Amino acid sequence: MSVTPRGHRLKELSLLEDGWLGNGEGVKPDPGVLAMISGFVSQLEREGRALPAIYPMAQEAGLSLAWRFPAMNVTLRAYSSTELELSRFNPQEEPPTRRANRQSITFSDIDAVMVTFKAWLSER
């Protein structure tokens, strides 16, 4: 079985150590978060859905995933395997309106995130 570019990215992130920012800051990603996000991204790949950019979160042991679509930007922040925040906004709106229309939902499991993410994609 071949490893996808997102799989390589998750492997890179799994190798980070505390202090990865180089100035003593940067918390290594939690192995549980990495495993959960790996499964989430694998499901997106199997379903042929858009794949996110994946970043470590400097102050938390979590990951941030970002998608950019013409009329919607979506971010998933996984602070832990039971603390997830999914948010979206329309990048075409002016900044004051964009902030006012930003939608953010907190979840405690990744399956609920997937259901909402798919619903948002169907609205575009």
Distances 8 to 4, 44, 79, 82, 98 between C-alpha atoms, Å: 6, 16, 21, 24, 33
pLDDT tens per residue, range 32-84: 999 999 999 999 999 999 999 999 998 899 999 999 998 899 999 999 999 99
What is the pTM assigned to this prediction?
A: 0.89
Q: Are 120 and 88 a contacting pair, CB within 8 Å? A: yes
CA–CA separation, 119 vs 59, rounded Å? Answer: 30
Q: Read off the pLDDT band of 98 (50, 70, 90).
A: low
Asked if residues 116 and 104 have their Cβ atoms less than 8 Å apart, the reply is no
